[in-house]
Chain A
Amino acid sequence: MKESNVYVQDLSRGIIKENPVFRLLLGMCPVLGVTAFLINGLGMGLAATAVLIASNVVVASLKNFIPAQVRIPVFIVIIATFVTIIEMILQAFQPALYDALGVFVPLIVVNCMILGRAEAFASKKPILRSLVDGIGVGIGFTLALGILSLVREVLGQGTILGPEPENTIHLFGEAFEPMGLFAQPPGAFIALGLLLAITNIIFKKYNL
């Protein structure tokens, strides 16, 4: 019982208590940059999650071999390797998503959320717990990006599942004039601010 409790905690911590976007405000650059469409937000979240899980596991399994003085460069090389792999795979098999995410995929390398988990968690904890932690933080990140991009796409475009025309669902009639601001970077800040306020109220109310 005690054993499994640790894993449940590790998993939920990343989603709620230490949600990288809503609580820690880490890795804000892709959060603001790619959330104009739900698909892109979720794609970014999943790409970052894949890197996070892989780097957490590798860092945790190598932690006894890495000299403390060079741990940061080693972490960065490990993260960069997985990011580049993800980038090549996306380009080969998910070209539309690759085009939409653009420069934000290579920028996952310097996403402080991932380095932060490697440094603060994976380099100190066992492999399995690091794996669970990676999954938890990844879900938290993807969830936050999903919510933000859903809000921005609905308000800024009046659609969901865009921008590919064959999948796009138009929520409102022809006469609907979308609030273009929310499709733009300033709209990302505004939407994120509002979401932070709302989640803070919720977290406070339920004492999470």
Chain B
Amino acid sequence: MRDILKMSLTLTIIAALSAFLLTGVHNITEPVILARQEREYYEAIERFFPEVEDFQTKEIDSNQYDLIYDQDGEELGVMGTIETQGYDGAIRYNLAVDTEGVIQGIVIVSHTETPGIGDVIETDQFQEQFVGKGYDDSLEDGEDVDTVSGATLSTGAMLSSIRRTVNTIAEQFLGEEREYIDLTEIPDGVYEASVDGTHGILTVEVEVENGEIIRVDVPEHNETEAYFVDSYPEIPERIVEEQRVEVDTQTGATLSAERIVDAVKKALGDAVPEIEDDAEGNGGDNNNEGE
């Protein structure tokens, strides 16, 4: 009995002392940590928007976006703080986009990609190819920007995340409206298209009825099954539910998910009777939103 009392008492005292000590150190270090993170963020903002005077924070899909103003209250651009899934853990980065939807720069805040391979995402060489590109460019791999071979997963994750972020910023803050495929112009029917997958082609079937996507199927693929189950039927369901092709491809199998999206895009793109590529923003018939 005595022993048990002594033992519990010792453990309690030790634990209490430890808690006191930790609280003390925490109180000293926490403000330093927070201040540094904030300072680093402001430095990043000032680097890309030197005339910054004020900003307004908005949260979209658990990412933080700051709309930057100069001293006259004019919008300078948007700074996004984005977290995305890399090859090995989360990548946090800041993306600066000006009011034209053009990327000003990228700052990697933290990542755990493989040293010597995936950490090329930190290099100027990789980041600079995005600067000056933006909403009006095709931010697809191999078009205006490239992934780095040998580090395809890390750089591919960054590339598609940046593309999504630019779209989000342009559409949510800058009032841009992408001319997505106009579903109402597609005749009823089943459309099929194939893209290159991990080990062979991936084919999708898209059924359109009354200007709505009612079914997306993947009759043929050679993706790694263990990953593929994460993107199918999840991605087709998202496409049918949101009635648009550009759905969020964040799943456990981002690569397969993007291939499905690419294939659907291709199928519907081919299905549009006449591909109109007229000057943007003339406000003609942008009715595809309000249907």
A residues neighboring B (CB under 8 Å): 36-37, 65-67, 69-70, 73-74, 77-78, 80-81, 84-85, 88-89, 91-93, 95, 99, 102, 156-157, 163, 178, 180, 183-184
Contacts and interface: CB of A to CB of B under 8 A. Distances in A.
Interface in B2-54: 3, 6-7, 10-11, 14-15, 18, 21-22, 25-26, 28-30, 32-33, 36
Of B14, B15, B112, chain A has the most CB atoms within 10 Å of the CB of B14
A185 B151 CA distance: 17
Contacts of B14: 74, 77-78
A37 B116 CA distance: 11
For the complex, would chain A's binding face be called helix, strand, loop or mixed by DSSP majority?
helix
B90 interface: no
A89 B11 contact: no
B168 to A, nearest CB: 27
A77 B33 contact: no
Given A70-B7, A74-B11, A78-B18, A88 B116 contact: no
8 smallest A-B Cβ distances: which pairs? A183-B116, A92-B29, A92-B32, A81-B18, A88-B29, A70-B7, A85-B25, A67-B7
B10 A88 contact: no
A91 B33 contact: yes
Nearest to B19: A81
A180 B116 contact: yes
Contacts, number: 65
Interface of B: 3, 6-7, 10-11, 14-15, 18, 21-22, 25-26, 28-30, 32-33, 36, 110, 112, 114-117, 119
Contacts of B28: 92
A93 B32 CA distance: 8
For the complex, would chain B's binding face be called helix, strand, loop or mixed by DSSP majority?
helix
Contacts of B116: 36, 156-157, 178, 180, 183-184
B114 A184 contact: yes
B203 to A, nearest CB: 37
Given A69-B7, A74-B11, A89 B33 contact: no
A68 to B, nearest CB: 10
A165 B260 CA distance: 40
A37 B28 CA distance: 30
Nearest to B36: A95
Contact of A89 (B10, B25, B110, B114): B25
Contacts of A184: 114, 116
A157 B25 CA distance: 37
A85 B7 contact: no
8 contacts: A67-B3, A69-B7, A74-B10, A78-B14, A88-B29, A88-B33, A92-B30, A163-B115
A158 B112 CA distance: 21
B5 to A, nearest CB: 10
Contacts of B21: 81, 85
Contacts of B110: 99
B6 A67 contact: yes
Contacts of A85: 21-22, 25
Contacts of A180: 116-117
Of A73, A81, A89, A184, chain B has the most CB atoms within 10 Å of the CB of A81
Nearest to A179: B116
Contacts of A156: 116
Contact of B112 (A77, A92, A102): A102
Contacts of B32: 92-93
A85 B6 CA distance: 27
Contacts of B29: 88-89, 91-93
A66 B22 CA distance: 21
Contact of B33 (A37, A70, A92, A183): A92
A149 to B, nearest CB: 12
